Chains A and B, each alone.
Chain A
Amino acid sequence: MTPRMTKFVLAISAPLLALAAAFVITSIVLAAAGDPVLDVWKQILSMPERRNVANIIDNAMVLYLSGLAAAVGFRMNLFNIGVDGQYRIAAFTAAVVAGEAWLPGYLNTALAIICAMAVGAVWAGIAGVLRATRGVSEVISTIMLNAIATALVAYLLRKASVRVEGSNAIGTKVIPEGSRIPNISIGSGPGQEIYGFVVIVVLVGFLYWFVLNKTRFGFNLRATGRSTTAATASGINITRMVVLAMLISGAVAGLVGLPILFGDSYQYGSTFQSGLGFAGIAIALLGRNHPIGVAVGALLFAFLNEQSNPLQILVGVSPDIVAITQGTIVLTVVISYEIVRRYGVRLEQQAVAKALVPEPREPEEANA
């Protein structure tokens, strides 16, 4: 096998191994609980209809943004656990701004998007600044900020809300028609449309790839993630990088709720979808922080979500079983990547040793 081929096979085998393991573990749980294992998988793995495909893509968009937000942090060895809080406070801001409609048409939309990114960035930036200047672990501070964001949004929503017609739920003012982002049709029937926001999502994915892999800034960010000490010695200002990385992560997180806001709900209400942040962490891990990998991970999670929906009706099994599968994937994917990585390093060391005159020496401390 050529080295390129080997690399590719290794890269592919890790997630496949993880999926297989998660599949087996879920099956064991199902069997232990006395649920019909085969029927469950038959439903989940069945061919989705066009309408479901649209739902999967819509859901995947949101998860993809959440995954990218986490991935920016991961590339720097930062854990942005706070995507959850960041996207909620940002989506709320965007809903208020767009609902007020200070600007006409798409200018209004653009302003709302920018505000959302800014608010998300600021919320994550608090954690970044605390980390960079006071040494506070971003894991703990973002957890705290999540809870604060939840309470803050609840308070502000009550202040800024209008009652939704015909229900007890409250929400922000509805975004005017001219500022909504039209859906794109992928079929002829009803419900066969995906969010027009998809354009922005793809753009964000491209920018993520371009900035991280092609620019000096991206190099600095990745170098800092790999070794802060070497990065410092090479002249990178770590403090600045920590704050910047959190700001970017937060700005991307600020986009997470927007496909729904501009393509479906048109307002932020007490029923706005929550819990997208933690899924993003799982998806970023599954996709190895790679823009395409994260996209595949997001589609997979969205697929599992959509296909498990009718489980209760069809086979009488709670769709929550999918959460077990998804959580298990997070663990198995990390374990299998580690196993494959060690195997790969061994292979490469042997290749290096074989290619050269053998010289006895002590091994470099593999994990130093």
Chain B
Amino acid sequence: MSTPATTAPPPVVAPPPTTRRIPIWAMIAAVPALLLFLAVLENVTGAHDLTSSGTIAATLVATTPIMLAGLGGLWSERSGVVNIGLEGMMILGTYGAGYFGYHYGAWAGVLGAIMMGMIGGLLHAIATVIFGVDHIISGVAINIIALGAVQYLASNTFVGLPGGGSTQSPKIPDVPTITIDSLSNKLGDIEDNDTFFISQLASLLRALCTNLSSLVLISLGLLILTWFVLWRTSFGLRLRSCGESPVAAESLGVHVLRYKFVAVLVSGGLAGLGGGVLAMVASSNYRDGQTGGRGYIGLAAMIFGNWRPGGLLVGSGLFGYTETLGLRQGGTSVHALLLAVAVLALALALNQLRHGDRLAAVVIGVVGIGLGVVYFLIDEVPGDFTRMTPYVITLIVLAFASQRLRMPAADGQIYRKGSAG
């Protein structure tokens, strides 16, 4: 995006402190640690739905579309194209799942969602890569077009079908789910035992082996595949080089525009699949307005995750979790989380103070204390505020961690062939 820099011009040689990447073992260890934390919180506050297997299963379903949108954003932005058209591509995906799913079966619905998303991606690629349109403008246009297109198409194709109409498709079949009965039941028993931490662990495992949608599994596979392709293959190296320094890439014979084009197409496909998951797994038909801004949230999750797959997973998990809590007797659960956030905010404030960022420390500290006070004053958080939570968290992260974030150096810049040299 064409953004005027507000900081002083960069000095000649200014190596910023390299951010150390979190090692894999720490990421894996984080899952039980998080469970332990939630277990403590459940005990302290008495909010018992924080780690139930139902909550975790719903979180998985809620996380997947956001993660797929974020993955789409990751492909696109790693190649240097900002994609706020993800929302529109997701919308196209929901329609694709509805239309092709109804007429040709579940897997055709999945393919249809991907294909429709790719059409959005194609539009974005043509506009930004070939015609050099500003990425944000193109994204806004695609969101407008996609919304109009699916409404137009829906009233052309769904009206008159059983259960269909201008704002929704007929019921569509679901992709197979995976359940391991015996294990599921046993884990259910352990979960109901209410043993500290063990129950929580059991409910996590139970969620994973009960009615787990194959699309959720496939999506997680796509996350790993993305990591492998972008960071472990020469194709990925070239693609990322287009986002970091397209001039350097072209000077080395990389067909920059071609890679950007492919990346945006893949981006559209992933976002479209995200829409498909919304229509098929999270729901059972296409509905108008189904995406509810999840394309934007996916983008936010990607930024939250510092343009890396692991971070993206954490970010979308956070959004998925808050969304789920908002739906399941959210009031008390979110109320419990308030306390957690208040404690975390105070810890973060101390950390900021240690790093010398006094302003951030004070602001975060005040927020933390404020949340703590609110926790003791009210019994339940209104649903509207639950819905707001992920967005507020993203804003706070952007405001106070943006210096740590490292977006691709040439992200959002319009590149024309022949700029090398």
**Chain A residues engaging chain B, CB cutoff 8 angstroms:** 29, 33, 35, 76-79, 81, 130-132, 134-141, 143-145, 147-148, 151-152, 154-155, 158, 224-225, 228-229, 238-239, 242, 278-279, 281-282, 285, 312, 318, 320-324, 326-328, 330-331, 334-335, 338, 367
Contact = CB atoms under 8 A, between A and B. Distances in A.
Given A144-B300, A147-B387, A331-B137, 5 more contacts: A33-B152, A145-B391, A238-B4, A282-B141, A327-B148
Contact of B147 (A147, A323, A328, A367): A323
B136 A139 contact: yes
A79 B148 contact: no
Residue among B9, B156, B300 with the highest chain A CB neighbour number at 10 A: B156
B178 interface: no
B388 A147 contact: yes
Contacts of A143: 84, 296, 299-300
B27 interface: no
Contact of A224 (B4, B9, B382, B392): B4
Contact of B153 (A33, A312, A335): A33
Nearest to B418: A367
Contacts of B123: 331
Interface in B376-393: 382, 384-385, 387-388, 391-392
Chain B: interface residue count, which band? 35 or more
A19 B135 CA distance: 21
A143 B137 CA distance: 14
Query: Which interface residue of B144, B147, B299, B388 has the most chain A CB atoms within 10 A?
Result: B144
Contacts of A76: 4
A334 B133 contact: yes
B282 interface: no
A320 B148 contact: yes
B132 interface: yes
Interface in B133-181: 133-134, 136-138, 140-149, 151-153, 155-156, 166
A330 B141 contact: yes
Decide if the interface of chain A is mainly helix, strand, loop or mixed. Answer: helix
B134 A334 contact: yes
A197 B2 CA distance: 35
Given A33-B156, A135-B6, A224-B4, A318 B166 contact: yes
Given A139-B1, A140-B303, A318-B152, A335 B131 contact: yes
Interface in B287-309: 293, 296, 299-300, 303
11 contacts: A130-B399, A136-B399, A140-B394, A143-B299, A147-B293, A228-B5, A312-B155, A323-B149, A330-B137, A330-B141, A331-B123
Contacts of A137: 1, 3
Contacts of B394: 140, 144
A278 B151 contact: no
Contacts of B147: 323
B103 to A, nearest CB: 16
B38 to A, nearest CB: 24
Contacts of B9: 229
Closest 9 CB pairs of A and B: A323-B148, A327-B145, A327-B144, A228-B4, A155-B384, A330-B141, A320-B151, A318-B155, A320-B152
Given A151-B387, A224-B4, A338-B131, A134 B399 contact: yes
A321 B137 contact: no
A37 to B, nearest CB: 14
Interface string B381-416: 010110110011011001110110000000000001
B387 A328 contact: no
B419 interface: yes
B47 interface: no
A338 B4 CA distance: 20
B7 interface: yes
A334 B136 CA distance: 12
Nearest to A281: B140
A53 to B, nearest CB: 24
Contacts of A331: 123, 127, 133, 137-138, 141
B156 A148 contact: no
B406 to A, nearest CB: 12
B6 A131 contact: yes
B145 A155 contact: no
A282 B392 CA distance: 27
A311 to B, nearest CB: 10
Contacts of A147: 293, 296, 387-388, 391
A338 B132 contact: yes
A229 B9 CA distance: 8
A327 B384 contact: no
A231 to B, nearest CB: 8
A65 to B, nearest CB: 18
Contact of A144 (B2, B134, B395, B416): B395
A81 B146 CA distance: 17
B6 A334 contact: no
Given A136-B402, A321-B148, A321-B152, A238 B6 contact: yes
Contacts of B6: 131-132, 135, 228, 238-239, 242
